Amino acid sequence: MSIEQAPRRVRVMVAKPGLDGHDRGAKVIARALRDAGMEVVYTGLHQTPDGVAEAAVQEDVDLVGLSVLSGAHNTLFPAVRQALNSRGANDIVLFGGGIIPEDDIPSLLAGGAARIFTPGSRLDEIVEWVRAQAAARG
């Protein structure tokens, strides 16, 4: 008799790297993902890129979502991607959002972010995108 395992739930980390002290949006995203049945780890404010990457590896997450409102996105996204890669976690999908000018998005995508959500993005759109990324990851 074989025992079927329940499908593994999607695990997502929502992180607030840098000195940005505003986390309402991050908490809204975390709640939407949790309400959609995902396991969500929220790191809290003022995280370092290395701290985010270390926590992501320890928590065995599928995706890391960064919320950046401070204007430091051009530094923080690549730093988190590099920190993940240096830990052998190249397969963890990095995405995020916040107050990020449209002109900066192409360089963030080229630097290892899979998707950037800007203000006004719909929660259902974010949830479906996260699900699709997790499914593609296997």
Is residue 54 one of the residues assigned to a domain?
A: yes
How confident is the model over 56-108, as pLDDT tens digits? Answer: 999 999 999 999 999 999 999 999 999 999 999 999 999 999 999 999 999 99
State the virtual CA torsion across 34, 18, 98, 13 in degrees, nearest 10: -20
Q: What is the DSSP string of 41-90?
A: EE--SSB-HHHHHHHHHHHT-SEEEEEE-SS-HHHHHHHHHHHHHHTT-T
Is residue 6 one of the residues assigned to a domain?
A: no
Is residue 118 one of the residues assigned to a domain?
A: yes
Is residue 38 one of the residues assigned to a domain?
A: yes
Is residue 4 one of the residues assigned to a domain?
A: no
Looking at the structure of the chain, the number of domains it has is 1
Task: Assign residue 30 the CATH number of its domain.
Answer: 3.40.50.280
Is residue 5 one of the residues assigned to a domain?
A: no
Is residue 2 one of the residues assigned to a domain?
A: no
Q: What is the phi/psi pair of residue 108, to 5°?
A: -65, -40
Q: In this predicted structure, what is the pLDDT of residue 127?
A: 98
Confidence at 137, pLDDT banded by 50, 70, 90: confident
Global pTM reads 0.94
In terms of residue numbers, what domain contains 99? 13-137
